[in-house]
Copies of this chain bind each other. A is one copy, B any other.
Amino acid sequence: MSTTSESPQRNTRQRRAVAAIMADLEGFASAQQIHDILKQRGESVGLSTVYRNLQALADADLLDALRNDDGETLYRRCSSGHHHHLVCRVCGRTVEVEGPTVERWADAVAEDHGFRDVEHTLEIFGTCGDCAS
């Protein structure tokens, strides 16, 4: 067994920079967008490093990740615990939503068909009020 935090993690400037960006960011953003933001702020970080750190943060459940229609992986700081997202497809603004009913429904459906180890993905996309104007 590995202890839950098997992390001889080092506190590097790059790691701090990425974490800082994600702490401020409101909606979902791609690795490349975050890389660009860092460059603009002068805290340049290598693209590979941005990818690595985002994945690490996501693995540690400090970020949520989802894929958009273009196949890009988007990241966002999120509350812990199981939830889903309502995302504006224009500006990226995101609302975390929970739906106990949905959770129960999904599990029930799966069980009815004899499936085990069930998990599900659910995202809602739309255009937010501001962007609709």
Contact = CB atoms under 8 A, between A and B. Distances in A.
Interface stretch (A52-60, A74-82, A93-101): A93-101
A105 B99 contact: yes
A127 interface: yes
A8 interface: no
Describe A's contact surface by its main secondary structure. Answer: strand
Nearest to A104: B101
Interface residues of A, number: 31
A42 interface: no
Interface centre among A67, A110, A123, A124 (most CB of B within 10 A): A124
A117 B125 CA distance: 8
A117 B127 contact: yes
